[in-house]
Amino acid sequence: MSEQGIQLIVGLGNPGAQYAGTRHNAGYWLVDRIAERAGVELRPDAKFHGLLGRLVQPDGWDLRLLKPTTFMNHSGRALAAVCRYFEIEPEHVLVAYDELDLPVGGVKLKLGGGHAGHNGLRDSIAALGSRDFWRVRIGIGHPGSKEQVVGYVLSRPSRADADAIIDAIDDTEACLPDLLRGDYQRVMNRLHARPSDPD
């Protein structure tokens, strides 16, 4: 495929040390891992309301990495600002976020859809004016009742759960060349076949 696939990867999360290891920051974890592996520095940029990095591939493809620092409920402000400035269309955007409806360590790639109650995703859709962007849903499991959700996502996972989430993030990071090429089916085949905790 000659046209580049993903041009911007956005990790959703909350800024600040108190949120750094929480389940709700799984999207941040992915962007951090990609930046770390690629040797890319994420730098604060006020006009983009977040931390931004750039990875230029030998084949000329250009990837931006973004961690909004506006808190989860206003993630779309940073996403829309970067897309406008660099003229990136929604279909070349990948948003990574924590997913209650997937088992711990599960990971799914999909294009479009609703927000399923995820505030960061809701704001991203509203700010972009489009649902037609790619998503990486990183499974964190469900606490069992609706009343427990807020406390659950804003708390740190157990060591075993954290290891499972990190494994999913590592496998997703390994798919970066296919994401840049736009070979989404190949990524889905790989990620969706991963074993994950059925509980």
Domains of the chain, by residue range, sit at 8-192
Q: Which residue has the higher pLDDT, 26 or 118?
A: 26
How confident is the model over 16-59, as pLDDT tens digits?
999 999 999 999 999 999 999 999 999 999 999 999 999 997 77
> Around Cβ 188, how many Cβ atoms within 10 Å?
16
Residues forming the active site = 24
Largest CA distance in the chain: 49
> What value, to the nearest 5°, has the Cα angle with vertex 49 and ends 59 and 137?
65
How confident is residue 117, by pLDDT bands cut at 50, 70 and 90?
Answer: confident
Is 14 annotated as contributing to ligand binding?
A: no
Mean pLDDT within 118-125? 89
Neighbours of 102 (CB within 10 A): 18
Q: The tokens of 27 are what?
A: 């999207």
CATH assignment, 8-192? 3.40.50.1470
Q: Which residues of 152-165 are buried (b: 16+ CB within 10 A; e: fewer)?
A: bbeeebeeebbebb
The tens digit of pLDDT for each residue in 162-193 reads: 999 999 999 999 999 999 999 999 999 999 98
* Residue 71, marked binder: yes
Beta bridge partners of 44: 51
The pLDDT confidence band at residue 1, using thresholds 50, 70 and 90, is very low
Q: Please tell me the predicted confidence (pLDDT) of residue 39.
A: 94
For residue 86, say whether it is annotated as part of any ligand binding site. no
Summarised one tens digit per residue, pLDDT across range 71-92 is 888 999 999 999 999 999 999 9
- 85 marked among binding-site residues: no
pTM of the model: 0.93
